């Protein structure tokens, strides 16, 4: 945990996978082929709070879905990369666009598609129900599963490590 806190203090960009991280990974389709996903409200609120501290947030997904675009728009996330099974090009573009180094990036993943980026970033996080290989590579694991508040744990970790968390809590108490 100490290593994760130290690494989290340097984070300027949080990159999230979608299916299995922001959602529980289940895919629902109706008879017309419309896709449905479920997002956890605590994850969304954590993202909004983290963005208030100046940390950028991005998503890179192997799949494409209009639902993801809608949710990211509602959260104010403009760095949205969908349909990138090989996520390395999107990662490189984000680093260049935001003038960041890999050490300034945290990435949250759950499956093998996430390994190429997780192996490069300053803070690699695996959700609780990630596959074993992803957990083995990660610097830190969440106690919650993807789509069930795991992203909120990461947001809180970063805010605490950077000294913002108590001030944010105070805004709700006064």
Adjacent-strand bridge partners of 109: 126
Average pLDDT over residues 36-63: 97
Q: Rounded CA gap, 165 and 156, in Å?
A: 7
End-to-end CA distance of the chain: 31
Structure confidence by residue, pLDDT tens digits, 68-123: 999 999 999 999 999 998 999 999 999 999 999 999 999 999 999 999 999 999 99
Confidence category of residue 174, pLDDT binned at 50, 70, 90: confident
Pairing relation of β-strands 28-29 and 35-36?
antiparallel
CATH 3.40.50.970 fits 2-166, yes or no: no
Give CB contacts under 8 A, 24+ apart, made by 28-34: none
Q: Rounded CA gap, 19 and 24, in Å?
A: 7
**Has residue 4 got a pLDDT over 90?**
yes
114 is known to lie in a ligand binding site: no
Confidence category of residue 131, pLDDT binned at 50, 70, 90: very high
Question: How large a percentage of the chain has pLDDT more than 70?
Answer: 100
**What does the pLDDT read at residue 8?**
98
Task: Give the C-alpha distances (Å, rounded to integers) separating 58 from 41, 72, 119.
Answer: 17, 9, 17
Confidence category of residue 6, pLDDT binned at 50, 70, 90: very high
129 is known to lie in a ligand binding site: no
24 is known to lie in a ligand binding site: no
On whether the CB atoms of residues 50 and 153 are closer than 8 A, the answer is no
**What does the pLDDT read at residue 2?**
86
Average pLDDT over residues 145-174: 97
Q: Rounded CA gap, 127 and 123, in Å?
A: 13
Q: Rounded CA gap, 72 and 98, in Å?
A: 18
pTM metric for this prediction: 0.96
Q: Rounded CA gap, 107 and 154, in Å?
A: 10
Show me where the domains of the chain are located.
2-166
DSSP letter (8 states) at residue 103: G
């Amino acid at each position: 945990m100490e290593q994760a806190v130290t690494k989290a203090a340097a984070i300027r960009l949080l990159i999230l996978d979608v299916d299995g991280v922001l959602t529980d990974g289940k895919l629902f389709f109706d008879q017309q082929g419309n896709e449905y996903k479920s997002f956890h409200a605590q994850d969304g609120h954590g993202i909004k709070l983290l963005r208030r501290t100046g940390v950028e947030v991005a998503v890179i997904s192997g799949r494409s879905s209009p639902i993801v675009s809608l949710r990211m728009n509602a959260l104010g996330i403009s760095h949205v990369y969908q349909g990138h099974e090989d996520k390395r090009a999107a990662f490189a573009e984000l680093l260049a666009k935001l003038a960041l180094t890999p050490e300034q990036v945290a990435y949250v993943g759950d499956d093998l598609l996430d390994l190429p980026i997780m192996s490069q970033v300053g803070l690699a996080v695996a959700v609780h129900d990630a596959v074993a290989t992803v957990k083995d590579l990660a610097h830190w694991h969440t106690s919650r599963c993807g789509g069930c508040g795991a992203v909120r744990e990461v947001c809180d970790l970063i805010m605490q490590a950077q000294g913002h968390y108590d001030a944010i809590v105070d805004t709700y108490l006064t």
